[in-house]
A and B are shown apart, each in its own frame.
Chain A
Amino acid sequence: DSGVTQTPKHLITATGQRVTLRCSPRSGDLSVYWYQQSLDQGLQFLIQYYNGEERAKGNILERFSAQQFPDLHSELNLSSLELGDSALYFCASSVDPWGSMKARGETQYFGPGTRLLVL
């Protein structure tokens, strides 16, 4: 158990709909990352938040948005869903993304993922 929780575990919805995925980071972790894993693209970085602020964007579609709340949990909103959005969505957390600890880089702790199926 990584200490990162994600809900729901599974989500089945229809094209055109909107869903919200939720992530609670490990206690004390300030940074949350969202990743998408699809069969054809593999794992891809979507977006990163640090202590409530957006820090970096990756391959995130305009139909997708995210936020991190004062209690540090994060939500990923997916709208106007298409068949191709079916994927596993992971969030991960780390203490400090800027490597202020002695070791360069940061270990990221992954949640169990949300499996989204768009029909």
Chain B
Amino acid sequence: KNEVEQSPQNLTAQEGEFITINCSYSVGISALHWLQQHPGGGIVSLFMLSSGKKKHGRLIATINIQEKHSSLHITASHPRDSAVYICAVSWVKVGSQGNLIFGKGTKLSVKP
């Protein structure tokens, strides 16, 4: 079993739809990260959170530490949101602080 599980693996949406990507983890963490990987391969950090909720533009990330679960929401989705979204956790383990364990990613395609 992977330490970080994401769902769904693939997601196709129509422009304007509300999108949710889920992430569950099984290890103790100091923070959870949401990353976006563009079709060209570049990776951008969207959010880092250790509690509660963060919002940036049309993106919202939430985390429930007790349930070891996080969600990434995209409101009013747009074709330019098409990318792979990756959940990663900073692992609380001696000698591993700061290192990331990654989920396998969710490939999002938003159709016009």
Contact = CB atoms under 8 A, between A and B. Distances in A.
Interface string A79-111: 000000000101010100111000111111110
Contacts, number: 79
Nearest to B42: A112
B96 interface: yes
Interface in A19-45: 31, 33, 35, 42-45
Nearest to B104: A42
Contact of B45 (A56, A99, A108): A108
**Chain A interface residue bracket vs B:** 20 to 34
Contacts of A45: 99-101
Contact of B50 (A48, A105, A110): A105
A109 B100 CA distance: 12
A99 B33 CA distance: 14
B98 A106 contact: yes
B77 interface: no
The 3 closest A-B pairs by CB, nearest first: A105-B31, A97-B98, A110-B43
Interface of B: 29-31, 33, 35, 41-45, 48, 50, 86, 88, 90, 95-105
8 contacts: A43-B100, A94-B98, A98-B98, A103-B48, A105-B29, A105-B48, A105-B90, A112-B42
